[in-house]
Structure 1
Amino acid sequence: MLKELATEQGVLRYHDVGAGPPLLLLHGSGPGVTGWRNYEGNLPSLSRHFRCLVLEFPGFGVSDPTDQHPMLAAPASVIRFLDGLGLDRVDVVGNSMGGIVATQLAISHPDLVRSLVTIGGMGKNIFSPFPGEGINLLIEFTEEPTRERLIQWLRSMVWNQDLVTEQLVEDRWAQATEPETLEFSRRMYGRAAMEARAAAAAASDAPPYWAMLHKIKARTLITWGRDDRVSPVDMALLPMRTIPEAEVHVFPNCGHWVMIEQKEAWEATVLAFLTRGDR
């Protein structure tokens, strides 16, 4: 059941499943995404060991939106969420954008994040071009949202094309084309927004988050799909070398949605990491 937490910047909605140490799960971006769609298949396994808290970020059609860019709103929403629940130390799993948000929190609030697990997305392209194929398809959908463009983007997310079902397309289409959600998507992935963000980053004196990875104190597990067409696996090289307590697990025959496409293997790897004795 979807729960609600009232905050000074609107209602945050979340799922709360299981009992035990708190495990915060942060979702990615893209058309029609929600935290529930990212992680519902993993909750039966993870919730046997943890209290799983799946937060819905503002701007994706579930929690109340804010006036901020969704990527800027996300870290602040996590702090409001944890404060509202009275939690001051958690393990965190983040997929794609959620992995970047979790990484930023591990840098800026080192005492908050005990263990960090990322799924693709986090890092910097070393050998591959940016944006990657999947990001370009996402931009094309955002600029001109058609069912065909949505299907093309969804197919770029997975190695196993059978996962792109009619039901998946229908579910994603309904939420992705909701007017307010589509407007927030354009703030993130419209061409003008992407160009403005690149220009702002080039003009800023502040270091990018990937240049601050050495500040992370949390034990970190970086998981990746070998065949990721959204965030190519070479992005893992920089965090692997610069995060002090980093481990990397690459899954074969797997695209961007590792927790879905290699569900059992990913769950076993993550649980072994989170529950072993050197926590």
Structure 2
Amino acid sequence: MFLNYKIQGEGRPLLLIHGLFGSLDNLGGLARVLAEHYTVYQVDLPNHGQSPRSQSVDYISQANAVKDFMTQQGLDRASVVGHSMGGKVAMMLAISHPEMIDQLVVMDIAPVAYQERRHDAVLAGLNASMRSPITSRKAAEAILSDHILEPGVRQFLLKSLAKQDNGEFEWRFNVDALERNYDDITGWPASGHYHGDTLFLKGADSDYISAAHREEIERQFPQAKAHVIANTGHWLHAEKPDAVARVITRFLTKSER
């Protein structure tokens, strides 16, 4: 599998991995800042963006796809930053192939199985939008709004709505595979450890990482440090890209000494 990607900057290699229903562009603001210090690789995960489709969305499969990407790019080692689902992919990559990871940064997700289904309304809106050909972004948003109340969430999803040669629009993520295997996305195969330098970044107003997750974080990532980004939610990198980039750069630089 050959993942779609974008490269910018110069310096030591740094991979950025987006979250569920996203694409490499979601981390563009963070990438621009980090590219002042690193060669930044942004990737579209399988079933997202312009990367190939697959019926497997489990974290071992996704981590292997990123590992193969690194091999294709000639990267023996790299630091990896992942947000949400992408953070779980990054954690699995570090656990499975620690020899390839210099440092690990996980943004607002824990190495646990989440019981709450947070995306049912999103999936309902996406399925409703696909019941007939999508003729415009405005039409798609109107259908999504029947299911998704938050305008910001609708705008986030619409970034992955692409116009086709026939004039119709299609989603750039594989809705069917993501919905059918949603338990793999919320789940976590709790096994293994990564003993390298690790930073967990939490949005202060987000509940994706809580005190209840501390034991599992420390068990699986015994060198983990934590940093809370004030006045941000789950999308901390979009809300405060400069602050997040500063914290990441400070962590990576100190780790390299």
State whether TM-score is above 0.5.
yes
Letter in 2 for 1:56: D
Name which of 209, 223, 243 aligns with 1:245: 223
Equivalent-residue separation in structure 1 for 2:242 and 2:146 (angstroms): 30
Residue 46 of structure 2, aligned match among 28, 35, 58: 58
What residue is the counterpart of 1:3 in the other structure? none
Deviation at 1:220, TM superposition (A): 0.3
- 1:37-186 counterparts in 2 under 5 A? 37=26, 39-69=27-57, 71-124=59-112, 130-131=115-116, 134-141=118-125, 144=128, 146-148=143-145, 151-152=148-149, 155=150, 164=152, 168=156, 170-172=158-160, 178=171, 181-186=174-179
Give the 3 Å change call, closer, same or farther, for CA 219–82 of structure 1 in structure 2.
Answer: same
Q: Which residue of the partner structure matches residue 227 of structure 1? A: 205
- Going from structure 1 to structure 2, the CA distance change for 1:60 and 1:120 (only over 3 Å counts) comes to same
Residue identity opposite 1:217 in structure 2: H
Which residue type is aligned with residue 269 of structure 1? Answer: V
Aligned-pair CA distance for 1:262: 2.2
Q: Matched residues in 1 for 2:173 and 2:19: separation? A: 18
Matched, 1:22 2:13: yes
Q: Which structure carries more helix by proportion?
A: 1
Give the Cα–Cα distance (whole angstroms) in 2 for the partners of residues 53 and 235 of structure 1: 33
Contact 2:197-2:255 within 8 A present in 1 as well: no
Using the TM superposition, give the Cα deviation of residue 269 of structure 1 relative to its aligned residue in structure 2, in angstroms: 0.7
State, as a whole percentage, how many aligned pairs show the same letter: 26
Name the amino acid aligned to 1:255. Answer: G
For structure 2, the 5+ residue unaligned runs are: 130-142, 164-168
Alignment partner of 1:188 is 2:181: yes
Q: Residue by residue, what CA displacement relative to the aligned partner does 1:82-114 show, whole Å, maximum 9, x if unpaired?
A: 111111111000111111111111111111111
Supply the AA of the counterpart residue of 1:262.
K
Calculate the TM-score normalised by the size of structure 1: 0.73
Which deviations, in whole Å up to 9, do the C-alpha atoms of 1:33-70 show, x marking residues without a partner?
Answer: 10112x11112210011000011111114112134336
Cα separation, 2, equivalents of 1:137 and 1:251: 27
User: Is the alpha carbon distance of 1:78 and 1:88 closer, same or farther for their aligned partners in structure 2, counting shifts above 3 Å?
Assistant: same
| DSSP 3-state at the match of 1:93 | strand
Deviates more, 1:139-148 or 1:241-250: 139-148
- Partners of 1:267 and 1:179 in 2: how far apart? 27
Q: Given residue 228 of structure 1, which amino acid in structure 2 is its aligned partner?
A: S
